[in-house]
């Protein structure tokens, strides 16, 4: 698995993150049973359904090139399966997550991200730092797993504010 990821991560291009995301999603699907050992099933299924042509790219405040390069080096050294699975899903999330201008009211450390419940029914603002969740301006506890919102869902959110 590490070797294949070195190839995928080497091909990362900040100008074409859709292609990188496609490769990651395909990798996850191919190794579904391994990912399932370390991941909640609903979250995994939600991430596997992500279609790159429906997503927005480059709206994270993370240094993507730095992160991807660092992970590539770790894959080259050989990463254990648990960390490997977590890294792939986190990086798939990072490339297509939409971070808002709104600072988390709970921790104040991080801007909220636009996510949806894994059944796609509800748009939720989510803090990656403290896991705070907000729906329609109210702090609400969300039991479902959250995945990055797609372009349409992000646009709907932006129209409401
Ligand atoms: Zn927070």
Per-residue pLDDT of the chain (161 residues; tens, 9 = 90+): 999 999 999 999 999 999 999 999 999 999 999 999 999 999 999 999 999 999 999 999 889 999 999 999 999 999 999 999 999 999 999 999 999 999 999 999 999 999 999 887 899 999 999 999 999 999 999 999 999 999 999 999 999 88
Ligand 1 mean position, distance from CA 134 (Å)? 11
79/70 Cα distance (integer angstroms): 12
Ligand 1 mean position, distance from CA 33 (Å)? 32
Ligand 1 mean position, distance from CA 5 (Å)? 31
Ligand 1 mean position, distance from CA 131 (Å)? 6
Ligand 1 mean position, distance from CA 93 (Å)? 17
Provide φ and ψ at 79, rounded to 5°: -105, 145
Q: What's the pTM?
A: 0.95
Ligand 1 mean position, distance from CA 154 (Å)? 20
Ligand 1 mean position, distance from CA 111 (Å)? 8
Q: Are 88 and 77 in contact (CB under 8 A)?
A: no
Ligand 1 mean position, distance from CA 104 (Å)? 5
Provide φ and ψ at 118, rounded to 5°: -65, -20
Continuous segment of H or E residues that includes residue 133: strand 133-135
56/70 Cα distance (integer angstroms): 23
Residue located via tokens 């039991």? 143
The pLDDT score that the predictor gives to residue 121 is 83
Residue located via tokens 């699907």? 29
Ligand 1 mean position, distance from CA 117 (Å)? 18
Ligand 1 mean position, distance from CA 127 (Å)? 5
């Amino acid at each position: 698995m590490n070797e294949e990821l070195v190839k995928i991560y080497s091909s990362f291009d900040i100008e074409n993150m859709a292609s990188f995301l496609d490769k990651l999603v395909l990798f996850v699907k191919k190794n579904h049973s391994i990912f399932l050992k370390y991941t909640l099933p609903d979250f995994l299924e939600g991430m596997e359904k992500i279609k790159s042509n429906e997503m927005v790219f480059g709206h994270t405040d993370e240094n993507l090139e730095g992160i991807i390069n660092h992970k590539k080096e770790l894959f080259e050294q050989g990463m254990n399966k648990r960390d490997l699975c977590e890294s792939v899903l986190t990086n798939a999330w990072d490339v297509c997550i939409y971070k808002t201008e709104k600072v988390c009211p709970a921790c104040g450390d991080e801007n909220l991200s636009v996510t949806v419940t894994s059944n796609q029914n509800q748009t939720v603002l989510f803090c990656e730092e403290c896991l705070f969740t907000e729906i329609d301006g109210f702090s609400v506890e969300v039991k479902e797993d959250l995945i990055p919102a797609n372009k349409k869902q992000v646009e709907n959110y932006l129209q409401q504010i």
